Amino acid sequence: MIADERSDRVPAPDEVRPEPARSLTQRVADTLERLRTDVDLWVASANETGDAYLVPLSFHWDGSRLTVATPRKSPTARNLMRAGWARVALGETRDVVIVEGHVEAIALGTEPGLEEAHARAAGFDPRELSVEYVYLRITPREIQAWREADELEGRHLMRRGAWLEAEG
């Protein structure tokens, strides 16, 4: 038996004890709050031969979709536009949100309201840069969120673009 698995083990005073698993309703609320308030996320992509890329990008959440901006010629932009699909992650390792969804490329200058909202949320304005950027709007189809192993079983919050509802 490993010492940490003993039931009589007394935690150290500074040891963090995991919180109890959250309900689906609480997890959805926490996820929506994170989408409203976080600034950055990690974007995973791969090229046509399977070479993986992982980059942090700032984002804007409009209440139903995420928008990121990246140089049009970057590997991430090319990969996401080619695939038409994105997988992104927000948060920390022990409080993560993973979003998967369809990607739509939006050229600079075509949606001024979106561009203003993205600049406010992200803290930078791609329209002011010399490199050509593209906005990539991600419409979630699947969302998962969990903190610890006790939340893995109920980690799916959205499937096929619809938020799941708590049973009962």
d(CA 124, CA 78): 21
| Residue 87 domain-assigned (yes or no) | yes
Q: What is the pLDDT of residues 93-129, one digit of tens each?
A: 889 999 999 999 999 999 999 999 999 999 999 999 9
Q: Is residue 153 assigned to a domain?
A: yes
**3-class SS letters over 37-72:** HCCEEEEEEECCCCCEEEEEEEEEECCCCEEEEEEC
Q: What is the pTM of this model?
A: 0.85
Has residue 137 been placed in a domain?
yes
Distance CA 52, CA 160 (A): 25
What Rg value do the Cα atoms of the chain yield, rounded?
19
Query: Is 164 a member of any domain?
Result: no
Parent domain of 62: 28-158
Instruction: Evaluate whether residue 7 is within a structural domain.
Output: no
Is residue 166 one of the residues assigned to a domain?
no
Q: Structurally, how many domains does the chain consist of?
A: 1
CATH number of 124's domain: 2.30.110.10
Convert the pLDDT of each residue in 4-51 to its tens digit.
554 566 656 666 666 788 888 999 999 999 999 999 999 999 999 999
Burial class (CB in 10 A: 0-12, 13-18, 19+), 103: buried
- 11 located within any domain: no
Q: Examine residue 12 and state whether it is found in any structural domain, yes or no.
A: no
To the nearest 10°, the Cα dihedral for 81, 87, 89, 95? 170
Residue 67 CA neighbour count, 13 Å, CB half: 26
Residue 1: predicted pLDDT: 46
